[in-house]
Structure 1
């Protein structure tokens, strides 16, 4: 299922999506029809400058939300916090597959003059919120005195921008706390607003740790090409990325691609690939019961000592201890 929309003046996402799936908007929310899955979408006006759309559901069919670029919308910002979580037996349903979906935990913050596409797989629990605001309002809320290049481009520039950030455990817990709020409570709006501010703080706390010096304006063509490069990198985590192949996908020089990729994703292409492999390895061990060696070999590692070193660096514990923590139902924090 695909839903395409352009958020121009007067557009109402909730009403349009409800019509698309044959649902009814009640109390600023939608209940997903049983024929499509189960769950809800909720709209909230937090303040005059901040609004929120909450998605929490499990769908029978994959969903793609395709937002077209808005014209002359450099002042407007969307912060998209996104987790999709596979059911415990998900990887048992497929063969040992380096391309099978791992749990995804990402944040995308972008100006609305850059298009975005969100993919929600079937059978996965979706936790997703979209915080909409303006550069001016966000800068006033955060009140950052000393900005790095990333924060400055988001908060003070007048050009398009796009940044991705991995969600750490605190962000994941905060997102799930927002979604779990009981909305019938008279003070639920206040609780959600406090949590949203916490989530924005955690996001910018991560962004402020980036050390990229050179920053360039991002146009919608470059943005779509960089996302295509990222998708190619994670499509087969047993295959190291090849710069010559990626430059063809991006239609960029090596220097432009590597600079823009680090700017947008906060890491080099190869480091991003390695971290994605570790996340997939943890997912295979935690959810599928793979042994450490099975997970390593499935992801293309021939040297298990090298795999163990990378795993320990990513998770802060050895693979063996990670397995023991899982067996004892004590899950380690993920970076």
Structure 2
């Protein structure tokens, strides 16, 4: 199933998607017709400049959502919270879909509406994500930071093109899970949901506000596509450290531009991102109890197991053996 739209400030995803499915909307709720799957999409509006859609469904076929640039610049900010164990495919600029994560498919994406993107959701899997659409002016009023860093300034300013990714912590995952269980027929259901959406925004902007304040580099859809490709290259073989020169050639970027845009988008350097991914992969393998500490270390390219243990403890606060005991 393919659904394409232009990300204009007045676009109502739920209404147009309901027409696409030939299904009715009742009190802001679109129930997925049985022939397409099961579940729902719920829309909430906290004013004309602050809207939310909650997606919770399982479909009979893959769903490909293509967002086309509005051509209006940054008149709308989209904050996308995807919380699911299944593969999430994200693409920019008509490039092939790139799986966002190997083990944990949760992701937070903050983007301006002048970037085209395509997201693929797999069939026969539970899909749960929340999209917050808000204008820069309204967001700036909500965040109300007296001395914002360059990231928050970029997002809440006008006319900026940006893409930021953040990892999703356990607190955010639990909040999303609880939101899915809210009884919207209750008298204060809408009010409660508004509080929870604000809490979601607080959690992501708390992280973004801690990023280093540097000059913002303008990004376009082609840049975004290249960055996701580079991210895929980094995590495709965690036993081998990334080589900046080779990555820059693959991305058709200068080394300087690649370093700047990668850190700007993902909040960390390429090598640090690689090391974090290594530790997360190690934790996954250890949790599932099918590998010894030595096997995990060697599989991830560590010839010195003491070095592996030190890095793992620095990341998780426990050495690998103790981590196995509490996992």
Aligned counterparts, 1:170-249, within 5 A: 170-249=171-250
Q: Is the 8 A contact 2:73 2:159 kept in 1?
A: no
Rounded to whole Å, the distance in 1 between the matches of 2:113 and 2:27 is 27
Count of aligned positions = 315
Rounded to whole Å, the distance in 2 between the matches of 1:58 and 1:287 is 27
Structure 1 residues 304, 221: CA separation in 2 closer, same or farther (over 3 Å shift)? same
Partner of 2:70: 70
Q: Is the 8 A contact 2:297 2:305 kept in 1?
A: yes
Structure 1 residues 299, 139: CA separation in 2 closer, same or farther (over 3 Å shift)? same
> Could you list the runs of 5+ residues in structure 2 that have no partner in the other structure?
88-99
Deviation string 1:17-57 (CA, Å, 9 cap, x unpaired) is 33445654333223344555543221111233210011123
Q: CA deviation at 1:128?
A: 1.0
Deviation string 1:167-192 (CA, Å, 9 cap, x unpaired) is 22222222222222222222111111
Q: CA deviation at 1:218?
A: 1.9
Partner of 2:115: 114
Deviation string 1:206-231 (CA, Å, 9 cap, x unpaired) is 11111142322222322222222223
Deviation string 1:135-162 (CA, Å, 9 cap, x unpaired) is 1000001111011111111112422111
Partner of 2:39: 39
Rounded to whole Å, the distance in 1 between the matches of 2:18 and 2:155 is 32
Partner of 1:12: 12
Partner of 2:94: none
Structure 1 residues 242, 66: CA separation in 2 closer, same or farther (over 3 Å shift)? farther
Rounded to whole Å, the distance in 2 between the matches of 1:164 and 1:30 is 29
> What secondary structure does 1:285 align onto?
helix
Q: Cα RMSD (Å) of the superposition? A: 2.7
Q: Is the 8 A contact 2:73 2:160 kept in 1?
A: no
Partner of 2:324: 323
Q: Is the 8 A contact 1:38 1:58 kept in 2?
A: yes
Partner of 2:90: none
Rounded to whole Å, the distance in 2 between the matches of 1:144 and 1:60 is 44
Structure 1 residues 60, 246: CA separation in 2 closer, same or farther (over 3 Å shift)? farther
Structure 1 outlier segments of 4+, above 6 Å? none
Rounded to whole Å, the distance in 1 between the matches of 2:300 and 2:36 is 33
Q: CA deviation at 1:58?
A: 4.0
Q: Is the 8 A contact 2:68 2:117 kept in 1?
A: yes
Q: Is the 8 A contact 2:8 2:76 kept in 1?
A: no
Question: Normalising to structure 2: TM-score of the pair?
Answer: 0.85
Q: CA deviation at 1:14?
A: 1.8
Structure 1 residues 43, 82: CA separation in 2 closer, same or farther (over 3 Å shift)? same
Partner of 1:53: 53
Deviation string 1:238-282 (CA, Å, 9 cap, x unpaired) is 443232332133221000110111111100011112212222333
Question: Which range moves more in the overlay, 48-57 or 241-250?
Answer: 241-250
Q: Is the 8 A contact 1:84 1:120 kept in 2?
A: no
Q: CA deviation at 1:320?
A: 2.5
> What secondary structure does 1:217 align onto?
coil
Q: Is the 8 A contact 1:83 1:104 kept in 2?
A: yes
Question: Normalising to structure 1: TM-score of the pair?
Answer: 0.83
> What secondary structure does 1:322 align onto?
helix
**2:165 aligned with 1:136, yes or no?**
no
Q: CA deviation at 1:130?
A: 0.6
Partner of 2:278: 277
Rounded to whole Å, the distance in 2 between the matches of 1:163 and 1:123 is 29
